Amino acid sequence: MLFVIGVAGPSAAGKSSVVERIVSAIGSHRCALLCLDLFYHGLPVGSNPLEYDFDSPNAFDFEACAETIKVLAEGRSVSLPSYDYVRHQRCGPEITLSGSTEVLILEGILTFYHERVRELLHLKVFVDEDADICLCRRIQRDVVERGRAVDVVLAQYEKTVKPALDNFINPQKRLADLIVQRGVENVIAIDLLVKHIAMKLEQRGLNRLYSNLHEMPLTGQVRALHTCFRRSDASRDQFIFYVDRMIRLLVEEALNMLPFRAKRVTTPTGDVYQGFSFTTKLAAISVSPGGEAMERGVREVIREVRIGKVAVVAGACGDRLIEFRRYPPGLARRKLLILLPVLDTGATLSTVLADLARLGCMQSSMIVLSLIASPEAIATVCNNGWTSVRLVVSAIDRGVNEHGLVVPGVGWFAERYFGTERFDLPPV
């Protein structure tokens, strides 16, 4: 899984130096660098470079940049022409980026500007520096490295660079996950950034890409339980027994994400134990029909829990509609466990999340519990704005087949658990 980092910031703020420090710490064999400047459209024929605005978003081919990132994410190599800053054209020697890299760093003044590019970034870093220092560095760089006169550099700065800084570059700060003040001099921020990237590289699969996804550790017990209830020849009693055990482990995993309060209790010896108590404002929402199979597991682990239900059906245009809902009172003030045993496409879950948000529930208060999820469902949820909703799953399978079933999966979950005819409901 390719981990894509975007580094934005003013010209001469020290972006390249910060990137070099990251690559040095992570290892050049694990990183590939992609400069946004490679996607300049180039100076139009007959145009005066002193009049052309190189800092405008219109100067970049963001669509080509997004396609390049997607190709690399698919594990394929890419060759691109380098950019000649003297001739203002993409005509230099080709740069080849390997598709086997683990980390891709996209660096440029407007890295976060275009929505399609921004959606492909898993971590957004803004490198900031005082405007006067940036100007001094820019003069030194353009005069020494690019053969420009000081008065030309100053005229360009006043005409296009400063307006772009105010209108396009600095507003990207609000989109950043991390702002590194003082550039490469901020060794503490860079050290924390490097440690975060190293932690991501240690994670497997989609956990590396989505910070709100939590896949349970694949212990021997977890794998054994999945082996038992996934078997096509498992009886209904066997299926229920092993699924219930897995649900209980899943709920216990989710409990670690709930807030605790400090609590002092007196033990039978008469001494005081300083401990924790669970939050009492908790509700579980089961998404029918499969979610109802998880209710007992929740009650067995969490004694004081209010349980609500919601059902989703396919609309005439293929969209998802809430058919039935019964939520506990005071829903917006509660932490919510959303029970959905199998995530197929993510469409039903997205509909439920939108319904809860409409009622005032905060994303950060929602935890989705699923036994099995497909990569498609995870991408659908995480790439459509639900980045603060935590997903707790015990397994991520290969994908979804033409019947809307997760593969290898468990088949039709509700039919196997309840012993009923298959529900003709849309994939979840």
Query: In the prediction, which pLDDT does 300 show?
Result: 92
Query: In the prediction, which pLDDT does 254 show?
Result: 93
Packing angle, helices 15-26 and 187-202, rounded to 10:
50
Q: What is the CATH number of domain 213-418?
A: 3.40.50.2020
Tell me the CB-side half-sphere exposure of residue 132, using CA atoms within 13 A.
Answer: 0
Packing angle, helices 347-358 and 375-382, rounded to 10:
30
Tell me how far apart the terminal alpha carbons of the chain are, to the nearest angstrom. 24
**What's the rounded Cα separation, in Å, for the pair 102 and 398?**
20
Tell me 89's DSSP state.
B
Query: In the prediction, which pLDDT does 330 show?
Result: 92
Tell which CATH classification among 3.40.50.300, 3.40.1390.10, 3.60.15.10, 3.40.50.12500 matches the domain 3-202. Answer: 3.40.50.300
Q: What is the pTM of this model?
A: 0.67
Q: Which of 426, 395, 396 is nearest to 412 (CA)?
A: 426
Q: Are domains 3-202 and 213-418 of this chain identical in fold?
A: yes
Query: In the prediction, which pLDDT does 280 show?
Result: 66
Strand partners, 179: 126
What is the helix, strand, coil percentage profile of the chain, to 5? 40, 25, 35
User: Is-contact 305 284, C-beta < 8 A?
Assistant: yes
**What's the rounded Cα separation, in Å, for the pair 306 and 326?**
11
Give the largest Cα separation in the chain, rounded: 90
Q: Which of 255, 249, 256 is nearest to 223 (CA)?
A: 249
Q: Which of 215, 213, 208 is nearest to 371 (CA)?
A: 215
Classify residue 256 as exposed, middle or buried by CB count within 10 Å of its CB (0-12, 13-18, 19+).
exposed
Q: In the chain, what are the domain boundaries? A: 3-202, 213-418
Q: Which residue has the tokens 């829990």?
A: 305
Which residues, given as ranges, of the chain have pLDDT below 70?
92, 279-280, 421-428
**What's the rounded Cα separation, in Å, for the pair 404 and 342?**
11
User: Is-contact 134 19, C-beta < 8 A?
Assistant: no
**What's the rounded Cα separation, in Å, for the pair 334 and 282?**
5
Query: In the prediction, which pLDDT does 99 show?
Result: 87
